[in-house]
Amino acid sequence: MGNRYPCGVLKFDVKRSMTPQDIAEVTELLDAVEKADAHKPLNDHLWIDLRLGGRAGFAGLTIRHPDTSQLIAYCQVSRVNDSWSLDLVIDPQHRHQTLELGNHLMAEAMQVIHEQGGGHIHWWVFDPTTDHQLLAQKVSLTPGRTLLQLRVELPLSESVVAATKNIATQSFKVGIDDEQWIALNNRAFANHPEQGGWTKQILESRQSEKWFDAEGFLMHYINTTDSIAKHELAGFCWTKIDHDSDPLLGEIYVIAVDPRHHNKGLGRSLTVAGLNHLATAGATTGMLFVDKDNIAAISTYLKLGFTTHHQEQAFVGDIN
């Protein structure tokens, strides 16, 4: 089981902002975890918060080895719209200490949130274990949403493409399509804790990421008889490619149809359009996340050939 260190001798720190050296050290830990799990820790919002050195509501909690000062555990607190998002990262060589290190970090994270007024909390966990469940119980978090990661081999089969209505799409125009897209996104995800309530600043933060490619951000417009909005955005499929993956993995990052245009088959058509774009760009596997209870969407994806790769669990709760 290896050595265990009393919390009294752990080198613990809470940072409200991160220096370039801090970011480099945390990134090194994240890289080690990604290599061990074949999964990237930190979602996009948390990663951008870290890379920018910490925005309002941010806290980076670290634990270092008492002898070597090597970073062995990291917990991040970030403000996401009207709630809080957490992630807990343990060095693969110290996972036998997940409960010990996690108990300390999670308790401190709850205190940080309490000091900033409290609120609703989401802690997303990749393939949760008994240790994660025990840690959640310790800080009064309970199982909430479950996300499935689905994958499909690319290119899609000819029969799937032939059975799908082809629709016209055009690439996102930065500075032109922004406002229409934000309005549709926020209607489609009105009750969604992460994707709802986007602002121009949030969109711009994604556009500044190195993976952003407007060519793969597909917009579907329709003509209307409305005297004001004759060219109406009805849906979109925003894709991204992980150029560091092998084989090359293409993701449907966000996809939505305006609620006013549901039940027209646009979801399937936009999904196929996105996957075809990813295949043309060289991706050999397509991937997306979907809520486990979104039966209609899952049914559509299974018919396209997707299968479940893994699931991620949100532990949720409220703190005053």
Question: Is the pLDDT confidence value at 303 over 50?
Answer: yes
Domain check: are 172 and 55 in the same one?
no
Question: Is the pLDDT confidence value at 316 over 60?
Answer: yes
Domain check: are 196 and 305 in the same one?
yes
Whole-angstrom distance, CA of residue 168 vs CA of residue 221? 8
Q: Is residue 291 part of a domain?
A: yes
**Cβ atoms of 247 and 257 closer than 8 Å:** no
Q: Is residue 37 part of a domain?
A: yes
**Where is pLDDT greater, at 284 or 39?**
284
Question: Is the pLDDT confidence value at 229 over 70?
Answer: no
Whole-angstrom distance, CA of residue 129 vs CA of residue 67? 29
pLDDT range class, residue 224, cuts 50, 70, 90 = confident
Q: Is residue 55 part of a domain?
A: yes
Q: Residue 291's domain spans which residues?
A: 150-315
Q: Is residue 219 part of a domain?
A: yes
pTM value > 0.85:
yes
Domain check: are 170 and 125 in the same one?
no
Domain check: are 231 and 305 in the same one?
yes
**pLDDT tens digit sequence for 62-121:** 999 998 999 999 999 999 878 899 999 999 999 999 999 999 999 999 999 999 999 999
Final residue in a domain of this structure, among 140, 170, 197: 140
Q: Could you give the number of structural domains in the chain?
A: 2
Whole-angstrom distance, CA of residue 252 vs CA of residue 156? 14
Q: What is the pLDDT of residue 225?
A: 64
Q: What is the pLDDT of residue 127?
A: 87
Domain check: are 13 and 109 in the same one?
yes
Domain check: are 132 and 250 in the same one?
no
Q: What is the rounded average pLDDT of the residues 221-239? A: 81
**Where is pLDDT greater, at 244 or 51?**
51
Q: What is the pLDDT of residue 103?
A: 96
Q: Is residue 2 part of a domain?
A: no
Domain check: are 119 and 167 in the same one?
no
Q: Is residue 145 part of a domain?
A: no
Q: What is the pLDDT of residue 168?
A: 96
Final residue in a domain of this structure, among 140, 175, 204: 140
**pLDDT tens digit sequence for 169-216:** 999 999 999 999 999 999 999 988 788 899 999 999 999 999 999 999
Q: pLDDT above 70 covers what percent of the chain?
A: 95
Domain check: are 121 and 258 in the same one?
no
Question: Is the pLDDT confidence value at 15 over 70?
Answer: yes
Q: pLDDT above 90 covers what percent of the chain?
A: 82
Q: What is the rounded average pLDDT of the residues 7-24? A: 88
Question: Is the pLDDT confidence value at 247 over 60?
Answer: yes
Domain check: are 134 and 176 in the same one?
no
Mean pLDDT taken over the chain: 92
**Helix/strand/coil (H, E, C) string of the chain?**
CCCCCCHHHCEEEEECCCCHHHHHHHHHHHHHHHHHHCCCCCCHHHHHHHHCCCCCCCEEEEEECCCCCCEEEEEEEEEECCEEEEEEEECHHHHHHHHHHHHHHHHHHHHHHHHCCCEEEEEEEECCCHHHHHHHHHCCCEEEEEEEEEEEECCCCHHHHHCCCCCCCEECCCCCCHHHHHHHHHHHCCCCCCCCCCCHHHHHHHHCCCCCCHHHEEEEEEECCCCCCCEEEEEEEEEEEECCCCCCEEEEEEEEECHHHCCCCHHHHHHHHHHHHHHHCCCCEEEEEEECCCHHHHHHHHHCCCEEEEEEEEEEEEEC
Final residue in a domain of this structure, among 120, 140, 160: 140
Question: Is the pLDDT confidence value at 244 over 80?
Answer: yes
- Amino acid at position 115, single letter: E
CATH code, domain carrying 25: 3.40.630.30
Q: What is the rounded average pLDDT of the residues 223-234? A: 73
Domain check: are 302 and 163 in the same one?
yes
Q: Is residue 320 part of a domain?
A: no
Domain check: are 200 and 288 in the same one?
yes
Own/partner pairs for 289-298, CB < 8 Å, 24+ apart?
289/147, 289/148, 289/149, 289/150, 290/147, 290/148, 290/150, 291/145, 291/146, 291/147, 291/148, 292/145, 292/146, 292/147, 292/148, 293/145, 293/146, 297/267, 298/148, 298/150
Domain check: are 94 and 213 in the same one?
no
